[in-house]
């Protein structure tokens, strides 16, 4: 299914940094300024750092789109990690090899799901639902 525009809010976090980590993503379709929820992701990803979790959130959102045969003419991806948003947009260098590997994986999926993909750093307060999904995943993990 091809959407004209997808809006994706992602977040990743680790308790302890590194520590138990989780991701959250909210995928919405937008047509004529009306947004419709497509899917939400909330899951743990093992022990890692905040930056890896931020990359994994984008990667898992794109993987969901690919697995469900979804594409978009335009995609806007919003993250509350300025570092990861700027790296994905090509404005910041990636110095750590493990982050570069994740960057490459994101870009490979990006080419399969979106024609024009833009990345934006936003304040945490504007990413509340994705943040809540991260905390939901981590809270469930820590209750087990």
89 three-class SS: coil
Q: Is residue 11 part of a domain?
A: yes
User: According to the model, what pLDDT value does residue 18 have?
Assistant: 97
CATH number, residue 8? 3.30.420.10
HSE-up (13 A, CA, CB side) for residue 69: 1
Number of domains in the chain: 1
pTM of the predicted structure, to 2 decimals: 0.96
pLDDT digits (tens, 9 = 90+) for 10-66: 999 999 999 999 999 999 999 988 999 999 999 999 999 999 999 999 999 999 999
CA 94-97-99 angle, to 5 degrees, is 60
The whole-number pLDDT of residue 2 equals 87
- Within a domain: 51: yes
Instruction: Give residue-wise pLDDT tens across range 93-129.
Output: 999 999 999 999 999 999 999 999 999 999 999 999 9
Domain boundaries, position 105: 2-135
């Amino acid at each position: 299914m091809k959407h004209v525009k997808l809006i994706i809010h992602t977040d990743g976090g680790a308790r302890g940094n590194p520590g138990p980590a989780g991701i959250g993503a909210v995928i919405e379709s937008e047509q004529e300024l009306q947004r419709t929820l497509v899917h939400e992701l909330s899951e743990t990803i093992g022990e890692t750092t905040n930056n890896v979790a931020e990359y994994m959130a984008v990667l898992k959102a794109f993987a969901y789109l690919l697995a469900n045969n979804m594409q978009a003419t335009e995609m806007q991806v919003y993250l509350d990690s300025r570092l990861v948003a700027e790296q994905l947009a090509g404005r910041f260098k990636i110095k750590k090899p493990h982050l570069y590997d994740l960057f490459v994986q994101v870009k490979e999926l990006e080419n399969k799901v979106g024609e024009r993909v833009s990345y934006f750093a936003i304040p945490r307060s504007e990413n509340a639902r994705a943040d809540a999904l991260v905390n939901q995943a981590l809270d469930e993990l820590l209750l087990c």
